[in-house]
Amino acid sequence: MSKENWFLIVIIMLLALLPLSESRFYIFLGTDILIMGLFAVSLNLLLGYTGLVSFGQAAYFGVGAYTCTLLMKKASIAFPLAFIGAAIFGAIIAFIIGFFCIRLTKIYFAMLTLAFSQIIWAIVFKWNSLTGGDNGIIGIPFPQHLDSPTRFYYFTLVIVVCSFYILRKAMDSPFGRMLTTIRENPERTEFIGINVKLFQLFAFMLSGFFAAIAGALFGIFNHSIFPDLLFWPQSAEVLIMAILGGMYSFFGPLVGAAVMLYLRMLVTSYTQYWPLIMGSILALLLFFFPGGIVGFLKSQRIFARGNR
Amino acid sequence: MLTVEKVKKSFDGFVAVNGVSFRVHQGEICSIIGPNGAGKTTLFNLITGHLPADEGKLTFKGMDITHLRPYQICRLGMGRSFQRTNIFPRLTVFQNIQAAVLAHRGKSFNFYQPVESFFQEETQVLLKMVGLQDYAETISGSLSYGFQKQLELGISLASEPELLLLDEPTAGMSAQETHHTIELIGRITREKGLTLLFTEHDMEVVFSISERIMVLHQGRLIAEGSPEEVRNNPDVKKVYLGEGR
């Protein structure tokens, strides 16, 4: 087994031991990081792998959160089914949005993803009878068998690790390589005989599927959901996480999520100027470490062999 | 093998290609020459489906390709290189060519096997053919310009084309690199029995390997024939050879 895989197994084992600390704070932070890490990695399928700067990733996250909650609360569907339903619905929404967005490129593409996510936000915001509008939905209980922060942490850990396993395998496969060639040069990829738009659409659905899983977890984790989950700052935040951690490595966005959430926790206990500090960090990073945290570590050869 | 019939393309009123017709026969080495802005690259983009033609008809191996998308045309057996070097810069040389092999062999929709396990040998053979076997693990964007062109040729060959379109294969190269590249192209074309259609601004290159030359000027074909015929054509002398050389 490669060095990197050993490293990952050690990390997973350490994460599995985290609840032994019996610190509610760390269990809470750990769950948050895992969920946002999955969200950021799902975005990175588009951003880092396929070269599509999606500015509306919050749409799938929010759709996942709302679908799971509404299926449980309004349709009384059992949690496992509601959870799977949320992921599938996330992929469907991503298919619809992606279908139109891939027809455009560059800044127009980014703007259209933003526009679609804002439309979905507006629907959720205005559809009072279903979504509770601005008030959101509060008092979402933990599902059966997951009724403590520790249990929910373990559930999240299992889901996120499985998701990463599937995604990493897919990104290391010929399919993943084709996404990378599309990122590098869509024109050339088309003329090695690849239907570029079809691959991009598939990347969209995969991305939406896993973003929705993250969203569904997030709703239950917070016991409440609000339209803010789909609002554009949520899209921007996850974009920052991915860039901060490094979009050219698989786990970069997870590292970005961890660093950002931990720092935010730390900084907000001293000062209310977190956005200022975040902005400064990001600006410095873009100038000096354009490859993000993981990109920097790799260039220092801290990892023997990178996965591109 | 390739038939171009009365093809026309204009951009915002500017007619870039104006009713061009020609044929390329199997096994031929043809070139299209013409001054800058004559419409050579536009013509290539029309043939490979990167641009839709306003009028006219394109046939490849007896099939109407006028309305096909680039990837469909590529799958029919047409390969091309681009004028601006067109590789996957952040991938290694090996990965560049392997990607093209994967696409050609229809393995690109595999989600679960490691990409490393595919077509190692086939890729090595291609690397060797274009003389890049010593650079397999180099990040392709860091190669010299001449090597990048060679890599692009390798990518085009990976799809085992019958017709190869090369857009200025020696543009921007030193004299030595040009010589080397032309030798390489000539050798591969003969070995594989390819049909070759290329554009080029370097007259020596054109006259040294072309069997037939077509001259494009302001979007129209003004002459066509053997190198000797074209060299002696008074129209060509007037609009092309007399200019800037």
Four-way CATH pick for B1-77+162-180+193-245: 3.40.50.261, 3.10.105.10, 3.40.50.300, 3.10.180.10: 3.40.50.300
C-alpha distance from B177 to closest chain A C-alpha (Å): 23
Q: What is the DSSP string of B186-233?
A: HHHHHHHT-EEEEE-S-HHHHHHH-SEEEEEETTEEEEEE-HHHHHH-
pLDDT along chain B (245 residues), means of 10: 92 90 92 86 92 93 94 93 87 95 90 90 93 93 89 92 91 84 88 91 82 90 89 80 51
A201 inside 8 A of chain B by CB: no
- Among A residues 221-280, those touching chain B with beta carbons less than 8 Å apart: 248
pLDDT tens-place string over residues A224-271: 999 999 999 899 999 999 999 999 999 999 999 999 999 998 898 888
Residue from the list A172, A191, A248 with its beta carbon closest to the beta carbon of B74: A191
C-alpha distance from B162 to closest chain A C-alpha (Å): 14
Residue A308 predicted with pLDDT over 60: no
Q: How many domains does chain A have?
A: 1
Is A178–B91 a contact, with Cβ atoms under 8 angstroms apart?
Answer: no
Is A178–B99 a contact, with Cβ atoms under 8 angstroms apart?
Answer: yes
Asked if A114 and A55 count as a contact pair (C-beta separation under 8 A), the reply is yes
C-alpha distance from B226 to closest chain A C-alpha (Å): 30
Is A184–B90 a contact, with Cβ atoms under 8 angstroms apart?
Answer: yes
C-alpha B54/C-alpha A226 separation (Å) is 51
C-alpha A184/C-alpha A48 separation (Å) is 10
Is A177–B102 a contact, with Cβ atoms under 8 angstroms apart?
Answer: yes
A173 inside 8 A of chain B by CB: yes
pLDDT attached to residue B110: 87
pLDDT attached to residue B22: 92
For testing the chain B interface, which of A2, A191, A298, A299 should be mutated: the one with the most B CBs within 10 Å? Answer: A191
Asked if B206 and B194 count as a contact pair (C-beta separation under 8 A), the reply is no
Please check whether residue A9 lies inside any domain of the structure: no
Q: What are the tokens at A201?
A: 């659409």
B14 exposed, middle or buried (CB, 10 Å; 0-12, 13-18, 19+)?
Answer: exposed
pLDDT attached to residue A85: 97
C-alpha B128/C-alpha B122 separation (Å) is 10
pLDDT attached to residue B85: 76
C-alpha distance from B227 to closest chain A C-alpha (Å): 30
A1 inside 8 A of chain B by CB: no
Asked if B7 and B125 count as a contact pair (C-beta separation under 8 A), the reply is no
Q: What is the DSSP string of A107-148?
A: HHHHHHHHHHHHHHHHHHHH-HHHH-GGG-EE-PPPPTT--S
C-alpha A207/C-alpha B122 separation (Å) is 32
The percent of residues above 70 in pLDDT, for chain A, comes to: 97
B77 inside 8 A of chain A by CB: no
Q: Find, in chain A, the residue whose alpha carbon is nearest to that of B50.
A: A187
Residue from the list A173, A190, A199 with its beta carbon closest to the beta carbon of B110: A173
Is A169–B112 a contact, with Cβ atoms under 8 angstroms apart?
Answer: yes
Is B112–A173 a contact, with Cβ atoms under 8 angstroms apart?
Answer: yes
Q: Which residues of B touch A173 (CB under 8 A)?
A: 110-115
C-alpha A246/C-alpha A254 separation (Å) is 9
A270 exposed, middle or buried (CB, 10 Å; 0-12, 13-18, 19+)?
Answer: exposed
Please check whether residue A45 lies inside any domain of the structure: yes
C-alpha distance from B182 to closest chain A C-alpha (Å): 22
Q: Find, in chain A, the residue whose alpha carbon is nearest to that of B140.
A: A184
Q: Which residue has the tokens 């999955």?
A: A38
Residue A155 predicted with pLDDT over 90: yes
Please check whether residue A266 lies inside any domain of the structure: yes
- According to DSSP H, which parts of chain B are helical? 40-47, 70-75, 93-104, 120-129, 145-158, 175-192, 203-209, 227-232, 234-236
Other beta carbons within 10 Å of B66: 17
CATH number of the domain within which A232 lies: 1.10.3470
Please check whether residue A5 lies inside any domain of the structure: no
pLDDT attached to residue B164: 93
Rounded mean pLDDT, A283-297? 86
Q: What is the DSSP string of A139-157?
A: -PPPPTT--SHHHHHHHHH
Which residues lie across from B207 on neighbouring strands? none
Residue A265: which domain range? 27-299
Residue A89 predicted with pLDDT over 70: yes
Please check whether residue A306 lies inside any domain of the structure: no
For the complex shown, is ipTM > 0.95? no
pLDDT attached to residue B165: 93
Asked if A157 and A34 count as a contact pair (C-beta separation under 8 A), the reply is yes
Residues sharing a CB contact under 8 Å with residue B200, sequence separation 6 or more, in sequence order:
B31, B33, B168, B169, B170, B206
Rounded mean pLDDT, A116-132? 92
The percent of residues above 90 in pLDDT, for chain A, comes to: 69
- According to DSSP H, which parts of chain A are helical? 3-17, 24-44, 58-73, 79-101, 106-126, 128-131, 149-171, 174-184, 186-190, 196-222, 232-245, 252-268, 274-288, 292-299
C-alpha distance from A54 to closest chain B C-alpha (Å): 21
What one-letter code names the amino acid at B186?
G
Residue from the list A173, A194, A195 with its beta carbon closest to the beta carbon of B111: A173
pLDDT attached to residue A139: 86
Residue A304 predicted with pLDDT over 50: no
Asked if B219 and B18 count as a contact pair (C-beta separation under 8 A), the reply is yes
DSSP state of B132: -
Rounded mean pLDDT, A2-23? 88
Please check whether residue A78 lies inside any domain of the structure: yes
pLDDT attached to residue B242: 59
| Mean pLDDT value across chain A | 91
pLDDT attached to residue B240: 64
Query: Which bin fits A136, alpha (ψ -120 to 50), beta or left (φ > 0)?
Result: left
Rounded mean pLDDT, A269-287? 87
B9 inside 8 A of chain A by CB: no
A307 inside 8 A of chain B by CB: no
Asked if A305 and A2 count as a contact pair (C-beta separation under 8 A), the reply is yes
A176 inside 8 A of chain B by CB: yes
Residue B49: which of B72, B78, B71, B69 has the closest Cα? B69
Q: Find, in chain A, the residue whose alpha carbon is nearest to that of B114.
A: A173
Please check whether residue A307 lies inside any domain of the structure: no
Please check whether residue A4 lies inside any domain of the structure: no
Domain with CATH 3.40.50.300 in chain B: 1-77+162-180+193-245
Residue A305 predicted with pLDDT over 80: no
DSSP state of B108: T
pLDDT attached to residue A306: 43
Is A185–B86 a contact, with Cβ atoms under 8 angstroms apart?
Answer: yes
pLDDT band at A146 (very low <50, low <70, confident <90, very high): confident
pLDDT attached to residue A307: 43
C-alpha A61/C-alpha A220 separation (Å) is 13
Q: Which residues of A touch B80 (CB under 8 A)?
A: 191
Asked if B108 and B102 count as a contact pair (C-beta separation under 8 A), the reply is yes
Number of H helices and E strands in chain B, helices first, is 9, 10
